[in-house]
Structure 1
Amino acid sequence: MVQKAMHFTPEVMLSAPRRSTGVPNALGTKVLYTTSSYNFKTHSKTSELHVLEVKSGASLVLAKDEDISDLNCLDDAGTAFVCLQSGANGGTNVCIGDATWTVRPDDAWSKRHYVAGTIDAPAGNLKIVRLDEEGREFAFVVSAQAKKDGCLFNPEKAKKTHSTGRLYDSLYARHWDRWETKERNALWYGKLSQNKHGNFQMSKLMNALKGTGLECPIPPFGGVDNFDHGRDCIVFVAKDPPLNPALNTKSNVYIVGIESWDKPEGCALRRVSISGFEGASTSPVVSPDGKKAAFLSMKTNGYEADKNEIFVLPDLHAKDLKPRRAFAVNDNSEGSWDRSPSSIAITSDSESITMIAEEQGYSRLFMLEDHFTEEAEPRRLTAKGSVSDCRPLADGRIFISASMIVDNSVYALVDPLIPPKDCGVSDTCTTWSNSNSNQGRKFGLNPSQVSFIWTPASNKAVSREIQGVVVKPSTLDSSKKYPVAYLIHGGPQGSWADNWSTRWNLAVFAEQGYIVVAPNVTGSTGYGQKFTDSIRRTWGGDPYQDIVNCFEWVGENLEGADNERAVAFGASYGGYMMNWIQGHDLGRKFKALVCHDGILSTAGMLATEELYFPFHDLGGTPWFDPGYDATAKGERGNAAQAHRNFGASTLADWRQWDPSEHFANWSTPQLLIHSSKDYRITISDGLAAFNVLQARGVESQFLTFPDENHFVLKPENSLLWHKVVLNWCNKHVGLPAFT
């Protein structure tokens, strides 16, 4: 990439090449990855497949615009690999590629690969395991949708109907951005074997979940983090079949034994039970020696932000599967380590666990050495930035993919034997790193723009202070004052961290001439589970006061911040907070507000697909009667489950934090953004808020996309989103229009 600095605009951000997660070979000498970029002049997307040589930092293009994904190295040297490529008529080709370092003109993709077999459906999430020492046979697993009879489902070959109507008789009629159908995700297994000519051939695929009633990966975001496999089994997670997913987060860990990878016989299904843990499980991993497994699990059903605890299965082949917690239990029956890992991996010697967990504005890499000892404590291996993926190597080092607010992709090699220090991507435990943008300098950005502040918290019993991320313009003039842009994150159990985003990029706003302040209010993740849990039943209480305190602190203490020219942005729960602020005193202190996919009415949340979310966070169902006995009334199924899971709440409790109760105070100019395919918070909330503002004579605009969901993901739509948002706010604080 050209290293010339440029002004960082939304167009620059959206058109910059995006690197995938890096896939290293076992020796850590090569890295396979893909890039994608969008050209706003030609209105077209391009993609490339690369191999990066670690020692020299040189990168070689292996393929262009070939729709390649799911890269897996076939040998330790990384010269051969297997991947998936979209094929004809909705099928997927399993390709064997050559990553040999040559630069001959005829080294096009057509001469660098051959097709080992074709899957007659869209497939993804390929994982492989070597079955023999010579590397001539591999077990592999992919995910693809299955029809009700367990056969592969190819939407391009599906029988067309003459009516578009759908009839439902239970909850969960739609999810995220699609209406539910009869097809379900499934795991398919097979074998890659070399023939007498040395070429790999794919066996027939078998559905490992056929007849089980289980679905994996779990939609809409489940992928390779939902399953793993060894030489004789597949370990995966799936929702608990008897429980309706609209009211429950409970998912279980299952093990399917595989006697033969090219035959359907001999598959035995076992479920792993954990006493007292009724929430979601994820991130199952099998040790390289195939003897052990580990996974993450939450205690509370109906709560998607509960603390993830690490569990280990010391013997996958034992008659009784007895998972053990990786950490000692404290007085509150929680693991003694007060962090919630998002993913885990097992090291190459099968003796230690690496984990990624949020911690005070960063996503850090940790290692738990000797995970069979409850008294063991994890060791932090990275300090700054946000690690998104880790892959243990054969020599004990760990390859990570990461990002920062100013840098969209960093690859690094971490040596656990070297103690880390707080010095960014040059941590002393990092022996090599490769940045996609020279730590943001290609974009005209630099890490020194990012800092953190601590401001008074509302609930001192939980935390005395809250942390906030501050991003200043790269051209900051200390003699001038800058308008302040306050960004409130969604979730609400989420956080702002030192990571890259193309949806809410803090640096984009800073480069417009704002000092950006992004507070991690009550309910944020990465500050201990108690702090995360404390938002329950106080959506507009402590978090709102945290923002008020932050606003006042910034006005008094942050150099260069002009609080008289302040604007606020928020999406999802952050959008809820925009509507809540609009109805309260703080709303009068902002020049303008931006609400993306925000909640207007708590009662409106009854239209969401995952009802457990408002039921948990608002304290229960709005029709709950403390004196009502569901069992005595003969209630079963969903009704009994809702009462049992979520406890005592009333309509008055819901109305306490309802922004629509405060319409009489709405008077600050506000931009509303809401898209038609957002089934999590329906478009009616955005339209109703816009209608209220218009009817009250308050300056307002409404932006909508018929083809977007809770996020705006398409490049052209995203560019328009940024133009509208920036022009709305720039106009109200006196900054030039964005063109």
Structure 2
Amino acid sequence: MTVRARKFTPEVLLSAPRRSAGVPNADGSRVLYTVSTYSFAEHSKTSEIRVLDVGTQRSALVTDLEGASEPNWLDDGHILILAPGHDGATLVKVGHVDNFKNSCYNAGIIEAPASNVKLHLLEDNKFVFAITAQASPEGELYNPETTPKPHSSGRFYTSLFVRHWDVYVTPNRNAIWLGTISRPSPGTHSHARYKLSALVNALKGSGLESPVPPFGGSDHFDIGSHGLVFVAKDPDLNPATHTKVNVYLVPISDFSVLRLPKPKKVDVYGFEGASTAPVFSPNGKQAAFLSMRQDGYESDKNQIFIIPDIQRPSWVIHVLASEDGKGKWDHSPQSMVWSVDGKALYILAEEKGRVCLYSLPSNVLPAASLPELIMNSGAISDVHPLHNGDIFISSSSLIDNSIYHITDRNQNHTMISSFSRDGSMFGLSRKQVSEISWPGAAKGTQVHAWVVKPSTFNEKEKYPLAYLIHGGPQGAWLDSWSTRWNPAVFAEQGYVVVCPNPTGSTGYGQDFTDAIQGQWGGLPYQDIAKGFDWIEENLPYVDTDRAVALGASYGGYMMNWIQGQPLGRKFKALVTHDGVFSMAGQMASEELYFPFHEFKGTLWNNREDWMKWDPSAYTKNWATPHLIIHSELDYRLTIAEGLAAFNTLQVRGVESQLLTFPDENHWVLKPENSLLWHTVVLDWINDHVGLPLYSKTSQKQDVKQQALANEIRELRI
């Protein structure tokens, strides 16, 4: 986008370039990143790898090779990328950043789809090379393109998982593959080129899988000068009913040896939950990781651990330990990285609707003080310490889809790049965003909420309310960009958007997060209802007589719950995306540990708690117009939940609509599907509060939307 959008619409949101986190060179003077753009006119996606010169603020194309991804610096001039090859293979390409097209060559070919590249410099022109790719049951590279297809379509299982997130589970497993990539010294060879060695499966024969599906990636392993550290589900426990994830070390003295030692488990006594984010110190002799206490609770608090000497994996220090086991720091870190000198850990953690950066000395253990806040602006997604001691930071906000910062040792923050020019390219500004809070249902609690107003806001006018409830339920609305639930899209339709973080939300202390257990329709519902009353009494520019409520996942559950409760009568319309209709239906979910924890036991041993907050028990009260959205590849909340809710509304004679996608999972990710999703949702809520139908206004802006409007009309038949 080179000009300011006249109005921030779903088309603008979905066709705007999407920039990745930045990958700086050693001194932060140049930054690699990928950027992708979808064209609704061409119905196609284009992607590029680019380099930003921080000094001149100019960005240059590195390559637009289709499918190119994961750029990494080899030195200040040469970079490594991945690109798709023939028949599902992955090409490892190397070239000069300033002339990549003419200088690039294949340093190696991996005969399968691969991703999550990590490099670690061993010596001049020689790196440890790590990548993840699926392995067959025999431990060999698995390539679905070249593997013979079975003659039968049947699937046979004798234990869980049967399916996970949006795929049926197969015998193939994620694995970490190690090797080296090196070149002769340029002075000894006139045509010195990098060459990838043979790769070895570091998990072969261990019975372990890493990264952990469905979302594990490069955050689940790290490589250093002396080995590999990774996390994997405990092989002795069923992954459908347990969250226990262990840390493993593979000491390696010579990365050129094709036979690696077996992984060594790192025991953390008293911590039986999930571990994540393992990272080596710069010298590779220490490692840090995060771990949870409770098995079965995926939102337990992460706590920080350090292995002072990887040659002694039984020696583990709980950095901020407390006598009660909860830890001295009431934050749940999500990732860490070591400073260049190895004297500090930089930690990302949520706090009050933001993802903040903290620093903790790592050379003084046990820690004498809590982590120090370095930056609390927006939502930080990635951090790279630079050789001069500065920190390169990638983040976003509610109005800006990509921001790069440099923070120096004195904590002076310098924004070096804002991809959407601080929101102005979208027609947005920071003045549209504010924060409110009100007393929560539980004694002594406060419920924090984000408020997003239209860019044309006039405090003397009144605007309908769009009340957005987040998923999780252990999640939060953050000061961050989203292409799925972006509050500014609703605000620009003419709503005041309020995004509350009720009981169960993260970033407000672990007790607040934990309090939702056994309270799904209790404390959070009361917080939301109290918020509605607070808005009505304290925000004169909000017309609560023209209010709509929307939510996905747990937010979708809350829409179904609200529909049967008194609060449901205060809304003109509701929108449920992938929400729970019947609690017993959660036995069809894949990660059964989730309902077992949330409802304090199994369905057969604790049926009362399962049924206490069941939306289907209150369907006799359903009366508010309701849009139901549910997709067929959602194996977390099966499509039966959406069909049951829609069928109930229809039989009861309640005005209702159903939107479903056969090729989407718990999220709607494909741009064309997402545009349809936004159009149907906005038409539904706008029609019920007296705002213009979005499909009609978009037709005036672009005649190409006529086809979409026709498609929507056909879907309504």
TM-score (norm 2): 0.95
1:298 alignment partner AA: M
User: Are 1:126 and 2:117 counterparts?
Assistant: yes
2:626 alignment partner AA: Q
2:82 alignment partner AA: L
Please give the secondary structure, in 2, of the residue aligned with 1:305: coil
Please give the secondary structure, in 1, of the residue aligned with 2:585: helix
User: How far 1:456 moved relative to its partner?
Assistant: 1.8
Residue 226 of structure 1: which of 220, 231, 234 is its match? 220
- Equivalent residue number for residue 645 of structure 1: none
- Equivalent residue number for residue 425 of structure 1: none
Matched-pair contact (CA < 8 Å) for 2:206–2:262:
no
Deviations 1:137-165 (A, max 9, x none): 11110000000111100000011112111
- Equivalent residue number for residue 62 of structure 1: 62
Residue 489 of structure 1: which of 470, 477, 482 is its match? 470
- Equivalent residue number for residue 641 of structure 1: none
User: How far 1:68 moved relative to its partner?
Assistant: 1.5
- Equivalent residue number for residue 396 of structure 1: 389
Please give the secondary structure, in 2, of the residue aligned with 1:56: coil
- Equivalent residue number for residue 665 of structure 1: 621
- Equivalent residue number for residue 445 of structure 1: 428
Residue 441 of structure 2: which of 453, 458, 482 is its match? 458
CA distance in 2, matches of 1:738, 1:97: 47
Q: Which runs of 5+ in 2 are unaligned?
A: 696-717
2:16 alignment partner AA: A
User: Are 1:111 and 2:102 counterparts?
Assistant: yes
Matched-pair contact (CA < 8 Å) for 1:228–1:234:
yes
Please give the secondary structure, in 2, of the residue aligned with 1:709: coil
Residue 507 of structure 2: which of 510, 523, 526 is its match? 526
1:128 alignment partner AA: L
CA distance in 2, matches of 1:308, 1:7: 41
1:369 alignment partner AA: P
Please give the secondary structure, in 1, of the residue aligned with 2:382: strand
- Equivalent residue number for residue 128 of structure 2: 139
- Equivalent residue number for residue 360 of structure 1: 352
Matched-pair contact (CA < 8 Å) for 1:177–1:677:
yes
CA distance in 1, matches of 2:319, 2:264: 22
User: How far 1:580 moved relative to its partner?
Assistant: 0.3
User: Are 1:654 and 2:610 counterparts?
Assistant: yes
CA distance in 1, matches of 2:608, 2:415: 57
User: How far 1:737 moved relative to its partner?
Assistant: 0.5
- Equivalent residue number for residue 582 of structure 2: 601
CA distance in 2, matches of 1:588, 1:430: 47
User: How far 1:731 moved relative to its partner?
Assistant: 0.2
- Equivalent residue number for residue 53 of structure 2: 53
- Equivalent residue number for residue 252 of structure 2: 258
Matched-pair contact (CA < 8 Å) for 1:259–1:267:
no
Residue 289 of structure 2: which of 295, 305, 311 is its match? 295
CA distance in 1, matches of 2:82, 2:234: 30
Matched-pair contact (CA < 8 Å) for 1:259–1:266:
no
- Equivalent residue number for residue 184 of structure 1: 173
2:655 alignment partner AA: E
CA distance in 1, matches of 2:16, 2:158: 46
CA distance in 2, matches of 1:224, 1:559: 48
Please give the secondary structure, in 2, of the residue aligned with 1:536: coil
CA distance in 2, matches of 1:735, 1:68: 43
Deviations 1:525-569 (A, max 9, x none): 000000000000010000000011000000110131000000000
2:278 alignment partner AA: P
Following superposition of structure 1 onto structure 2, how do residues 19-58 of structure 1 map, counting pairs within 5 Å?
Answer: 19-58=19-58
Higher mean displacement: 542-551 or 164-173: 164-173
1:97 alignment partner AA: G
CA distance in 2, matches of 1:667, 1:112: 66
CA distance in 2, matches of 1:97, 1:607: 49
Following superposition of structure 1 onto structure 2, how do residues 582-661 of structure 1 map, counting pairs within 5 Å?
Answer: 582-624=563-605, 650-661=606-617
2:270 alignment partner AA: G
Please give the secondary structure, in 2, of the residue aligned with 1:387: strand
Matched-pair contact (CA < 8 Å) for 2:403–2:415:
no
User: How far 1:452 moved relative to its partner?
Assistant: 0.7
CA distance in 2, matches of 1:110, 1:153: 30
User: How far 1:110 moved relative to its partner?
Assistant: 3.2
CA distance in 2, matches of 1:271, 1:292: 15
CA distance in 2, matches of 1:719, 1:495: 24
Please give the secondary structure, in 1, of the residue aligned with 2:320: coil
Please give the secondary structure, in 2, of the residue aligned with 1:381: strand
CA distance in 2, matches of 1:410, 1:332: 39
- Equivalent residue number for residue 274 of structure 1: 268
- Equivalent residue number for residue 562 of structure 1: 543
2:23 alignment partner AA: V
CA distance in 1, matches of 2:680, 2:65: 31
User: How far 1:479 moved relative to its partner?
Assistant: 1.9
Matched-pair contact (CA < 8 Å) for 1:3–1:438:
no
- Equivalent residue number for residue 706 of structure 2: none
- Equivalent residue number for residue 89 of structure 1: 87
- Equivalent residue number for residue 351 of structure 1: 343
User: How far 1:65 moved relative to its partner?
Assistant: 4.0
CA distance in 1, matches of 2:506, 2:258: 43
User: How far 1:321 moved relative to its partner?
Assistant: 2.6
Deviations 1:331-385 (A, max 9, x none): 5321111100111101100110001100001101111123533223211111220
1:239 alignment partner AA: K
Residue 150 of structure 1: which of 127, 130, 139 is its match? 139
Following superposition of structure 1 onto structure 2, how do residues 671-682 of structure 1 map, counting pairs within 5 Å?
Answer: 671-682=627-638
Q: Which runs of 5+ in 1 are unaligned?
A: 101-106, 419-428, 625-649
Please give the secondary structure, in 2, of the residue aligned with 1:577: helix
CA distance in 2, matches of 1:220, 1:392: 28
- Equivalent residue number for residue 674 of structure 2: 718
CA distance in 2, matches of 1:392, 1:171: 41
Deviations 1:84-119 (A, max 9, x none): 11111100011112113xxxxxx4x43131110000
User: How far 1:3 moved relative to its partner?
Assistant: 4.2
**How many equivalent residue pairs?**
689
CA distance in 1, matches of 2:269, 2:226: 27
TM-score (norm 1): 0.92
- Equivalent residue number for residue 199 of structure 2: 205
CA distance in 1, matches of 2:362, 2:257: 37
Please give the secondary structure, in 2, of the residue aligned with 1:732: helix
CA distance in 2, matches of 1:611, 1:281: 19
CA distance in 1, matches of 2:281, 2:410: 21
- Equivalent residue number for residue 339 of structure 1: 331
User: How far 1:267 moved relative to its partner?
Assistant: 2.2
- Equivalent residue number for residue 517 of structure 1: 498
- Equivalent residue number for residue 327 of structure 1: 320
Higher mean displacement: 371-380 or 237-246: 371-380
CA distance in 2, matches of 1:83, 1:257: 27
Percent identity between the two aligned chains: 54
Following superposition of structure 1 onto structure 2, how do residues 403-422 of structure 1 map, counting pairs within 5 Å?
Answer: 403-418=396-411
User: How far 1:266 moved relative to its partner?
Assistant: 4.3
CA distance in 2, matches of 1:416, 1:618: 47
Following superposition of structure 1 onto structure 2, how do residues 686-705 of structure 1 map, counting pairs within 5 Å?
Answer: 686-705=642-661
After superposition, the CA RMSD in angstroms is 1.1
Deviations 1:28-56 (A, max 9, x none): 11100010000001101011110001111
Please give the secondary structure, in 2, of the residue aligned with 1:408: coil
Deviations 1:12-43 (A, max 9, x none): 00000000111001111110001000000110
Deviations 1:149-193 (A, max 9, x none): 111000000111121110111121000000000100000001112
1:14 alignment partner AA: L
Go from structure 1 to structure 2 and tell me whether the alpha carbon gap of 1:266 and 1:576 turns closer, same or farther (over 3 Å shift): closer
Please give the secondary structure, in 2, of the residue aligned with 1:509: helix
User: Are 1:240 and 2:234 counterparts?
Assistant: yes
